[in-house]
């Protein structure tokens, strides 16, 4: 920490603490301490907007029936209150919001088996449980606060951001990348999720292998693009599966 002595630098504070700067600092401080209740409001507000903008695969569609069967019983997974929707878009992607909304793109189901898709879903649940999604929202909200763009109203409207600010906020959140540590932790969570539910835990390796093979020549944002290092993560998943195989063999002896 640097300390400034009085004298030559005595006007430093006066130059910085202008009215606008004070307001920006206050809003940044508010962002850093965003309450859980306001975080939930912000999460629900953003996912409602995304649900409105993205078509959902109709319930009568075989793909929706397959998806609904996959997530059946996961609404209260690991102490969380979760909800799921399948977006009728070709992207190979999935994401989670802090309130427990898990959204999967139809393109992912086109290229993955059920257990492979479940490994991705387990990974996204991990982002909620381990509060990685909350950190991403906190970060994006802090950026908005720093730009003096945050609505100072969470009253009767239930809105943390106004409509004109929400679109940019969602874009910032969706373009943000989790840290390598956060991704690794969610991978581990997703693997344990497969094991605990009796799914094929080898599916995480094959899921990441498929993502590693994807190219972005089409210009569409793939899960590979937003979750880098798929080949390395497939290798780690393979090692985890081998260790789990060994553990199960020893348990049967």
> Where do the structural domains in the chain lie, given as residue ranges?
17-252
Beta strand 101-105 with 83-87 is parallel
Question: Quick check: 81 and 123 in contact, CB under 8 A?
Answer: no
Catalytic residue status for 171: no
**Who's near 54: CB < 8 A, 6+ residues apart?**
87, 88, 89, 103
Exposed, middle or buried, 22 (CB in 10 Å: 0-12/13-18/19+)?
Answer: exposed
Length of the chain: 253
Q: pLDDT above 70 covers what percent of the chain?
A: 74
pLDDT in tens, 209-244: 999 888 543 434 444 444 458 899 999 999 999 999
C-alpha 250: how far from its chain's center? 36
What pTM was computed for the model?
0.80
Query: Nearest 5°: phi and psi at 214?
Result: -70, 145
pLDDT in tens, 37-92: 888 888 999 999 999 999 999 999 999 999 999 999 999 999 999 999 999 999 99
**Who's near 114: CB < 8 A, 6+ residues apart?**
66, 70
Q: Which of 208, 118, 134 is nearest to 176 (CA)?
A: 134
**Who's near 13: CB < 8 A, 6+ residues apart?**
none
> Out of 116, 124, 183, 205, which one is annotated catalytic?
124
- The pLDDT score that the predictor gives to residue 217 is 38
**Who's near 226: CB < 8 A, 6+ residues apart?**
93, 177
């Amino acid at each position: 920490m640097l300390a400034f002595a009085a004298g030559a630098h005595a006007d430093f504070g006066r130059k910085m603490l202008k009215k606008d700067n004070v307001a920006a600092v206050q809003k940044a401080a508010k962002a850093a301490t965003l309450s859980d209740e306001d975080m939930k409001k912000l999460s629900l507000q953003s996912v409602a907007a995304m649900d409105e903008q993205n078509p959902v695969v109709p319930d009568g569609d075989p793909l929706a029936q397959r998806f609904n069967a996959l997530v059946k019983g996961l609404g209260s997974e690991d102490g969380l209150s979760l909800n799921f929707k399948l977006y009728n878009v070709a992207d190979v992607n999935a994401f989670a919001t802090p309130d427990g909304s898990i959204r999967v793109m139809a393109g992912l189901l086109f290229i993955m088996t059920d257990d492979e898709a479940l490994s991705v879903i387990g990974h996204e649940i991990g982002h909620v449980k381990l509060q990685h999604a909350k950190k991403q929202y906190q970060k994006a909200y802090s950026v908005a606060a720093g730009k003096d763009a945050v609505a100072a109203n969470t009253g009767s409207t239930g809105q943390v951001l106004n409509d004109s600010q929400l679109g940019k906020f969602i874009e910032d959140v969706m373009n943000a990348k989790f840290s390598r540590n956060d991704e690794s932790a969610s991978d581990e969570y997703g693997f344990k999720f497969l094991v605990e539910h009796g799914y094929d835990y080898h599916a995480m390796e094959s899921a990441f292998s498929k993502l590693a093979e994807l190219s972005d020549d089409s210009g569409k944002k793939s899960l590979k693009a937003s979750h880098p290092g798929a080949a390395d993560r497939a290798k780690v998943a393979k090692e985890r599966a081998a260790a789990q195989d060994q553990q199960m063999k020893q348990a049967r002896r």
